[in-house]
Structure 1
Amino acid sequence: MKTNLTEGLYPFHLTPEQEARASQLHESSIIIDLLFQGPLSPKAIPAHISESIRESCEPFRDEPMVYSGMPSKMIHDMAARGELPAFKEEWYRSGITAGNRQLGISDIESLVTSMGEIQRQFDTMDWLVKVLKADDIRTAKSNHLKAGIVTAQETDGLGKNLALLDALHHFGLRVLQLTYNNQNYIASGCAEQVNGGVSNFGARFIRRMNELGIVVDTSHCGKQTTLDACRLSTAPVIASHTGVEALFGHMRCKSDEELQAIAGTGGVIGIFAMPWFVYKDPNETTIEHVLNHIDYVVRLVGVDHVGIGTDWPMSDVEWSLVYFKEHIAPRIGFAKGDGPSTETVKGLEKYSYFINFTRGLVARGYSDEDIQKILGGNWLRVFEQVWG
């Protein structure tokens, strides 16, 4: 299935020659989205399926965390049973070679549940392979398959049990964020009042991640945590999905000092496509604004240290996203009205529009080599260093 090159094209006003170049680059490159909430989005899920999911979830409305999480689980369950063809179709149309499959580690129950859900995807979808080493991504591209990278954004459920970290590595965990917004045993998140940095236990935790070959992710970490992680880690440190504080002063964006520290480890900064975090008006955020963040990081630390981690849109339904913003986001560190909702970046309303990244980079004058680095080559270099 070839990438859809007619629907959803953002008006970059490319020449026919530039369009042909962008198409060829997109088809031939290894493309990695390291915060891949897809392959679906609310706009890719049929209305009758959305309504059916709402009816099934309604009895659980008095349990906010359960109610909010059910639609995404139901969507993935339908996909695993082969009842949602759009799951595969949208991924292939996107051109994305590898995207993360995310574990929940808020507690042991969520960990066990998400391990089962992720493994079911690999077991039931013969076109999706679990990534254990960097070459698995290259092989997937060669064989016209898709690759799933097991990642996690939180560590709370591990407590201080490093043996669980070892077990998760055996399962396939390859990228792990130290903390999600808040304080935990390891470090301070970006939503904490105190910029506490990495704890003594956190230093041991990072050392064990280095030994196992798990990439250290600092996306939702506080400033001092990011700087400490870069100092403590003997392997490249990343921010899988973030933005530039100098362009938009949101807590989820990184300062120049943090961006330089990450690059100094040999790491990569993944730029997200979150309308609320990259530009002042989420209703008018376009892929041009996302590209502005990419341009800034390239100028600051060089093209070898920039990647993509969109983090949006979600494989979810619209009514669930509205509920999440109103009832769940404040519980996990976001200020009221500050969390994700239904807005999308114009030019990335669906993952099948992902070619707009390639087209936008062509429009901004990047060379073929540099575009391939940003689309996935830089992530692959880090993976080769850390995983082998």
Structure 2
Amino acid sequence: MEFKQKKGYRPYEAYEYLEPGKDFPVIDWADWDWAGRHVLELSAGEEDRVAELLERFPCISLHDHPDFTTRDMSTCEPLFDAMRSGRDRCGYEALSWSNLDCIFDNMMDGTNIISSPQGWKWIDIIHDLGMRLCDIAHQDFLVHCKTVEDIFAAKRAGKIACVFVIEGAAPIENEVDRIDILYGLGIRQLGVTYSESNALGSGCREDHDGGLTQFGRACVERMNKVGMLLDVSHCGPQTAYDAVTHSKKPVIVSHVGAKGVWNTKRMADDELIRAVGAKGGVIGIEAAPHTTMSKTKMTHDLDSYMEHFEYVKNLVGIDHVGFGVDCMYGDHVGLHHAFAAALSTGETGKSQSEYTEVPFVKYLENPTEASWNIIRWLVKHGYSDEDIGKVIGGNAIRVLREVWA
């Protein structure tokens, strides 16, 4: 594969309108392709088909964190210091090498520890969003996406539409009007819970799931009214099911895998997958390290990832599956180690003794690499043009047209 940058990219480094060392601390960030650039090999004819498909259809990731870890991940402190600085670094140049036309950007979210080691504080979420919006206003490659037309306009211009997302609703506390505030600030997707419980319902790390609360029902209703896409990725199974059934509009599971392939608390069971499909929603398959594994090889790679895709596709049909790879730039496994408690990687996964830990997920290590290889796998495995168009973006577009105001 010949590496090409998107035509709408103009060189830009995050916060380059400021003076490093004076206006903000200098941080030694990782290289975006620190683990190499891994590309699934195709024949010349298959390469031509990939190029044609990407020209015809929008390519969308329903869940990512296109920011960086620090270069030094041998201890937690360099990474924690970077997160506490409150100035997340977006990978503009890295994204320019991708096939993406639209990325759902979850910013710092689970690693947002600006004022508290526990994270998820309202003021910190607003700080993070404001910093990113200021930065994005000083460049013209990423476009702040608020409508479906923004996605198609970005594609035509060779740019990327960036949908800002809050992964869990803990920051709204008990204030339903904060959903309106987030919408007004340009947030277009909100998770009901992260792995921990909040006022809306139970997270997936809990042993007992009480389901969607009365306040949670009010929040689902408000999200429907304002046009906010509802995500149940990290919810406990009953809370997720309640949210899907209570919503009047389609719901997504932006980043998840199938419990029928890899039985952990973080994966979605068949009942939830069917409920999301019946509501007209989409299940996005995730690739964060050691999540979408399978018993076939007892490791995490592109093939195990696509086992989850095919399981969901076979269960609810090609119209209800997509991709939300949940990647970042830098050592993602190292980040999981550093934030093990906050990200609930221990409580929601299988014991590491059951598999050999990978240093990185080859072919899916970051948003750029994942955007190259998912479509290549689909072409290599004989999927039709129509079906590829649906899963790389068409299904998401259908849901957004119905949900977004």
Q: 1:231 to 1:283 in 2, by over 3 A?
A: closer
TM-score where L is the length of structure 1: 0.83
**Percent identity between the aligned chains?**
29
Q: CA deviation at 1:350?
A: 4.0
The answer on 1:211 being equivalent to 2:201 is: no
The answer on 1:352 being equivalent to 2:368 is: yes
2:104 to 94, 100, 103: 100
Q: 1:350 to 1:241 in 2, by over 3 A?
A: closer
Q: CA deviation at 1:222?
A: 0.8
Cα deviations across residues 28-73 of structure 1 (Å, max 9, x unaligned)? 32111111222x666xxxxxx836xx89xx9x94xx99436258x5
TM-score where L is the length of structure 2: 0.80
Give, as a single letter, the amino acid of the residue that structure 2 aligns with 1:254. A
Compute the RMSD of aligned alpha carbons: 3.0
The aligned counterpart of 2:345 is: 334
What is the alpha-carbon distance in structure 2 between the residues aligned to residue 335 and residue 371 of structure 1?
34
The aligned counterpart of 2:50 is: 22
Higher relative contact order (CA 8 A, sep 6+): 1
Give the conservation status (yes or no) of the 8 Å contact 1:3–1:27: no
Q: How many residues align?
A: 357
1:291 to 283, 288, 306: 306
The aligned counterpart of 1:136 is: 150
Q: 1:283 to 1:114 in 2, by over 3 A?
A: farther
Give the conservation status (yes or no) of the 8 Å contact 1:41–1:350: no
Give the conservation status (yes or no) of the 8 Å contact 2:176–2:218: no
Q: CA deviation at 1:143?
A: 1.6
Cα deviations across residues 281-322 of structure 1 (Å, max 9, x unaligned)? 99942211111111111111011101100002x23x43x863
1:381 to 380, 398, 403: 398
Give the conservation status (yes or no) of the 8 Å contact 2:87–2:131: no
The aligned counterpart of 1:183 is: 197
Q: Tell me which protein shows more helix as a share of its residues.
A: 1
1:36 to 54, 64, 85: 64
Give the conservation status (yes or no) of the 8 Å contact 2:300–2:358: no
State the SS of the aligned residue for 1:120.
helix
Give, as a single letter, the amino acid of the residue that structure 2 aligns with 1:190. C
Counterparts of residues 263-282 of structure 1 (less than 5 Å): 263-279=277-293
Q: 1:27 to 1:293 in 2, by over 3 A?
A: same
The aligned counterpart of 2:238 is: 224
The answer on 1:127 being equivalent to 2:120 is: no
1:370 to 384, 387, 397: 387
The aligned counterpart of 2:4 is: 2
1:246 to 260, 270, 275: 260
Give the conservation status (yes or no) of the 8 Å contact 1:36–1:100: yes
Q: CA deviation at 1:92?
A: 2.2
Q: What runs of 5+ residues in structure 1 fail to find an aligned partner?
A: 43-48, 80-86
Q: 1:351 to 1:65 in 2, by over 3 A?
A: closer
Residue range with higher mean Cα deviation, 231-240 or 275-284:
275-284
The aligned counterpart of 1:309 is: 324
Give, as a single letter, the amino acid of the residue that structure 2 aligns with 1:100. F
The aligned counterpart of 2:275 is: 261
What is the alpha-carbon distance in structure 2 between the residues aligned to residue 330 and residue 350 of structure 1?
22
Q: CA deviation at 1:225?
A: 1.0
Give the conservation status (yes or no) of the 8 Å contact 1:271–1:307: yes
Q: What runs of 5+ residues in structure 2 fail to find an aligned partner?
A: 7-35, 110-118
What is the alpha-carbon distance in structure 1 between the residues aligned to residue 68 and residue 392 of structure 2?
21
Give, as a single letter, the amino acid of the residue that structure 2 aligns with 1:23. A
What is the alpha-carbon distance in structure 1 between the residues aligned to residue 375 and residue 79 of structure 2?
37
Q: 1:127 to 1:184 in 2, by over 3 A?
A: same
Q: 1:223 to 1:345 in 2, by over 3 A?
A: same
